[in-house]
C-alpha cells in the first residue's frame, strides 16, 4: 500500500475521532438551575451528579442542610437542584430552652416547621417576619399568664401578664410594695399560669404612752405612839413613765404589741405611815360589886266574895 493511501486513511480516522469527541463533549454540557434558600440561578456545567454541580459552584453543604434531589443523583439537561441550608433555632419559652434545626428562613416559617404555636398575646424577642441567617438565632418567647392578685383587704383581682417573676407581675399590675409588706409566693418566684399572689400589708411602728406609776407605803415605827396608834407622816403621789410599744398590724389588724422601752418622767412619792410600838399600861382592876336583891313583893289581897242573890217569888 502506498504511503499516500496510508496517509489518507489516517486522516479519515483522525477526523472521525475529532467529530465523535466533539459530539460527546457537546452532549456532556448541561444547563442546570440551582435554588439556594429560594434564590435561583442557572449554570452551565459538565458535572455528572448533583454533588459535583454543587461542588463546582462552591456550595458548602453541612450536616443539617437539605438537598433535593440527593447529592448522588445524576443530572440531565434542565435539571433543577434545591438546597435549603439548615439553621439552629434556640427557642426559650418562659425561661425553658429548647434547640431545633430548621431550614426555614424566617421566624414564622421556622415556628410552623418545628410545631410551635404562640398566641397573638405572646411577646417575641424579634419580629415574626425576621430573617434567620445560616448562623442561627436565639428566640425568647414570653407567653401571657392569667393570675389572681389579692392585696391587703381588697377583693382578689384577675390579671393577665407577660412578666416572668412575681415581682415583675406586681409592678406590671400597679402594685407598689412598702418596706414590711409580705408576699406569697416570694418575689423571685417564676410566674405560672393560674397562680395566686397574696400581698399582706404589714405596718410596723412605735407608739408612746404616758402611764401612772403606783407608789408604795413605807412603815416606820415610833415609840412615841402606842401600838394601836398610827399617823400619816407623808402623803403618797403617783409617778409618771413613758412606755414605748412596738406595734405590728397585718391588713389593719393588730397582731403583735410589745414593750421595747421605758423612761421615767417623774418618780413616785411613797406614803410614810408611823406605827406605834409603845405598850399601853395594864388597866386597874375594877372593884367587886355584890349583887343587890330586891324585897319580895307583898301578896295580893284575896278577892271579896260576891253577894248571894236569892230568888224572888211572885205573890
For the cut 60, the answer to whether the pLDDT of residue 244 exceeds it is yes
pLDDT for the residue 306: 74
For the cut 70, the answer to whether the pLDDT of residue 250 exceeds it is yes
The residues facing 32 across adjacent strands are 43
* Domain extent listing, the chain: 29-84, 87-142, 145-200, 205-278
pLDDT for the residue 264: 96
Q: How much is the average pLDDT of 36-62?
A: 94
pTM: 0.57
Percent of the chain scoring above 90 in pLDDT = 77
Looking at 4-18, 82-96, 105-119, 271-285, which range is the least confident one? Answer: 4-18
Phi-psi region of 278 (alpha: psi -120 to 50; beta: other; left: phi over 0): beta
pLDDT for the residue 290: 74
pLDDT for the residue 162: 93
The CATH code that applies to domain 87-142 is 3.10.20.30
Least Cα distance to 211 among 245, 244, 247, 240 occurs for: 240
pLDDT for the residue 1: 53
pLDDT tens readout for residues 143-182: 999 999 999 999 999 999 999 999 999 999 999 999 999 9
Q: How much is the average pLDDT of 217-237?
A: 93
pLDDT tens readout for residues 118-137: 988 899 999 999 999 999 99
In the chain, the DSSP E strands lie at: 30-36, 39-45, 66-68, 80-84, 87-93, 96-102, 123-124, 137-142, 145-151, 157-161, 182-184, 196-200, 202-213, 217-226, 230-234, 239-250, 253-266, 271-278
Q: How far apart are CA 250 and CA 199, in angstroms?
A: 10
Q: What is the mean pLDDT of the chain?
A: 89
The residues facing 254 across adjacent strands are 249
Tell me if 269 sits within 8 A of 237, measured CB to CB: yes
pLDDT for the residue 95: 87
Cell of 60: 458548602
pLDDT for the residue 312: 63
Q: Residue 271's CB: how many other CB atoms inside 10 A? A: 16
pLDDT for the residue 314: 61
Q: How far apart are CA 270 and CA 156, in angstroms?
A: 59
Q: How far apart are the first and last CA of the chain?
A: 247
pLDDT for the residue 256: 96
What fold is seen in the domain 29-84? Ubiquitin-like (UB roll) (3.10.20)
What fold is seen in the domain 145-200? Ubiquitin-like (UB roll) (3.10.20)
Q: How much is the average pLDDT of 216-237?
A: 93
Q: Is 29-84's fold the same as 87-142's?
A: yes
Tell me if 110 sits within 8 A of 89, measured CB to CB: yes
User: Pairing between strand 253-266 and 137-142?
Assistant: unpaired
CATH of 205-278, one of 3.40.50.2300, 1.10.10.10, 1.20.1740.10, 2.20.230.10: 2.20.230.10
Q: Which residue has the higher pLDDT, 104 or 286?
A: 104
For the cut 80, the answer to whether the pLDDT of residue 307 exceeds it is no
pLDDT for the residue 315: 55
Write b or e for each residue in 39-73: b if 16 or more Cβ atoms lie within 10 A of its Cβ, otherwise e.
eeeeeebebeebbbbbeebebeeeeebebeeeeee
pLDDT for the residue 291: 74
Angle at 80 between CA 59 and CA 114, to 5 degrees: 70
Amino acid at each position: 500500500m502506498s504511503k499516500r493511501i496510508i496517509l489518507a486513511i489516517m486522516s479519515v480516522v483522525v477526523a472521525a475521532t475529532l467529530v465523535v469527541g466533539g459530539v460527546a463533549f457537546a452532549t456532556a454540557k448541561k444547563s442546570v438551575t440551582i435554588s439556594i434558600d429560594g434564590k435561583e440561578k442557572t449554570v452551565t456545567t459538565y458535572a455528572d451528579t448533583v454533588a459535583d454541580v454543587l461542588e463546582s459552584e462552591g456550595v458548602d453543604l453541612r450536616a443539617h442542610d437539605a438537598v433535593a434531589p440527593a447529592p448522588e443523583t445524576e443530572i440531565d439537561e434542565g435539571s433543577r437542584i434545591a438546597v435549603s441550608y439548615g439553621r439552629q433555632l434556640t427557642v426559650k419559652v418562659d425561661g425553658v430552652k429548647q434547640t431545633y434545626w430548621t431550614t426555614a428562613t424566617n421566624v414564622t416559617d421556622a415556628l410552623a416547621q418545628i410545631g410551635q404555636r404562640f398566641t397573638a398575646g405572646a411577646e417575641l424577642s424579634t419580629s415574626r417576619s425576621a430573617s434567620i441567617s445560616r448562623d442561627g438565632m436565639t428566640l425568647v418567647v414570653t407567653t401571657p399568664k392569667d393570675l389572681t392578685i389579692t392585696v391587703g383587704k381588697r377583693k382578689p383581682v384577675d390579671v393577665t401578664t407577660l412578666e416572668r417573676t412575681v415581682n415583675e407581675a406586681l409592678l406590671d399590675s400597679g402594685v407598689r410594695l412598702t418596706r414590711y409588706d409580705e408576699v406569697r409566693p416570694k418575689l423571685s418566684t417564676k410566674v405560672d399560669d393560674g397562680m395566686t399572689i397574696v400581698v399582706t400589708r404589714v405596718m410596723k411602728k412605735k407608739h408612746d404612752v404616758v402611764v401612772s406609776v403606783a407608789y408604795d407605803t413605807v412603815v416606820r415605827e415610833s415609840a412615841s405612839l402606842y401600838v394601836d396608834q398610827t399617823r400619816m407622816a407623808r402623803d403618797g403621789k403617783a409617778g409618771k413613765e413613758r412606755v414605748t410599744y412596738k406595734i405590728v398590724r397585718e391588713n389593719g389588724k393588730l397582731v403583735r404589741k410589745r414593750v421595747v422601752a421605758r423612761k421615767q418622767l417623774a418618780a413616785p412619792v411613797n406614803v410614810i405611815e408611823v406605827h406605834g410600838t409603845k405598850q399601853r399600861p395594864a388597866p386597874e382592876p375594877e372593884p367587886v360589886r355584890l349583887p343587890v336583891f330586891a324585897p319580895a313583893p307583898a301578896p295580893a289581897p284575896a278577892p271579896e266574895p260576891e253577894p248571894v242573890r236569892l230568888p224572888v217569888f211572885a205573890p
